[in-house]
Amino acid sequence: MELKTIGSLDVKGKKTLVRVDFNVPLDDEGKVADDSRIKATLPTIKHLLEGDARVILMSHLGRPKGKVVEKLRLDDVARRLGELLGKEVKKADDCIGPEVSRAAEGLKEGDVLLLENLRFHLEEEKNDPGFAKGLASLAEVYINDAFGTAHRAHASTVGVADYLPAYAGLLMEKEIKSLRSILFEPDHPFAAVLGGAKVADKIGVLNNLLNKVDAILLGGGMSNTFLKAKGLELGDSLVDEDHLEFAKKFLIMAKERGVRVELPQDLVITLTGNNEQVKVEESANVPRGWSALDIGPRTADNYSQLIKKAKTAFWNGPMGVFEKEQFAHGSEMVARALSDPGVVSVVGGGDSLAVLKKYGLADQITHASTGGGASLEFLEGKELPGVAVLMKK
């Protein structure tokens, strides 16, 4: 099935209800600390404004669990969006109800209205039909541009499509095209770089990519579990004991299918509880009382060379505790290799994107996905509810 997009949609004068992902980090004062997600959806908003639409935006922010939480209001998001657009963005104090309906009805062509935090209502995450119908009553067309929430069957991502014609925004379209290309039509060699703390988070994508990639490079806390599955002792390092058996079977399956699985040869380790005492040690020689918090320099160099030799690469999950400079080298080397112009690189996950931003590399990646969980589920081969409702039947 084909994705329905806004490319040829006539929106002149129409009230368009757009699901965006403005779930942005806030500082201690409740101000927008990082506007990347707001900027990511600007092409769709500008496209609609150029078409003389009346634009109604809706988003969640944080986890208010169905209650009004003052610091999670979207007022500062509206202010920042207005600055980026160079025009006023009206802000509603709720997302449904008579006052919101009047505000939507009063919009002129080229106006923008941002609704209040969807998750102030429990009905949003429950995909309540009445709540979805209330949102849909505000507009004539529904557009989803929030790939980061497409794996959730919520009222604003799925339910609204029962009541309005539904289309994918430009960001959603770009996300799906980029992920489809590496999943179904990658240029080989294809390397997947997977890190982060938990093996459990990556089981689905590991299993699915095993049929598609030439090499899998493992780092972060999850690589410790695979090292232990090979019989190595990791001192006090994080190990997922519950998934040791999976790691053993996965390594056997990969070998049988001719997929190269790379594990750290050396590690940056620290005296447990004391990040001031840091040294590099062979993966087989992590002593008791020490913990691995990054891949070592030899491993980082090896991974970097393998990525540069690949034609396609996907990365999700840092190689170590990159927030601390002494454990950031592995993640930095991976990020720099992925920015090589000869590699079609797709990066997903908040931490991986944070590494790219830290080293000013975000613009040098082929595609930086705005959806960590959504991109992983897509690459697992799962159908995303928020995407399924945008397909031509």
Average pLDDT score over residue span 228-255: 95
Average pLDDT score over residue span 57-77: 96
Q: How large a percentage of the chain has pLDDT more than 90? A: 92
Q: How far apart are CA 21 and CA 42, in angstroms?
A: 11
Q: How far apart are CA 156 and CA 160, in angstroms?
A: 6
Q: How far apart are CA 268 and CA 189, in angstroms?
A: 29
Q: Which of 350 and 241 is assigned the larger pLDDT?
A: 241
Closest by CA to 307, choosing from 215, 211, 375, is: 215
**How would residue 30 be classed by pLDDT, with cut points 50, 70 and 90?**
confident
User: Is 350 annotated as catalytic?
Assistant: yes
Query: pLDDT for 261-287, tens place per residue?
Result: 999 999 999 998 888 899 999 999 999
Query: pLDDT for 165-220, tens place per residue?
Result: 999 999 999 999 999 999 999 999 999 999 999 899 899 999 999 999 999 999 99
Position 350 scores a pLDDT of: 84
Tokens standing for residue 62:
């944080």
Of the candidates 14, 19, 37, 91, the residue annotated as catalytic is: 37
User: Is 198 annotated as catalytic?
Assistant: yes
Q: How far apart are CA 344 and CA 306, in angstroms?
A: 14
Position 53 scores a pLDDT of: 98
Does the pLDDT value for residue 137 go beyond 70?
A: yes
Does the pLDDT value for residue 56 go beyond 90?
A: yes
Query: pLDDT for 88-124, tens place per residue?
Result: 999 999 999 999 999 999 999 999 999 999 999 999 9
Beta strands in 272-354 (DSSP E): 274-282, 290-295, 312-316, 344-347
Position 57 scores a pLDDT of: 98
Closest by CA to 61, choosing from 40, 41, 76, is: 76
Rounded-to-5 percentages of helix, strand, coil across the chain: 40, 20, 40
Position 193 scores a pLDDT of: 98
Query: pLDDT for 322-336, tens place per residue?
Result: 999 999 999 999 999
Of the candidates 159, 371, 373, 386, the residue annotated as catalytic is: 373
Position 29 scores a pLDDT of: 84
Q: Which domains does the chain have, with CATH numbers?
A: 15-174 (3.40.50.1260), 186-379 (3.40.50.1260)
User: Is 62 annotated as catalytic?
Assistant: no
Closest by CA to 262, choosing from 229, 231, 218, 298, is: 218
Across the strands, what pairs with 113?
56, 90
Average pLDDT score over residue span 12-27: 96
Position 393 scores a pLDDT of: 62
User: Is 37 annotated as catalytic?
Assistant: yes
pTM of the model: 0.91
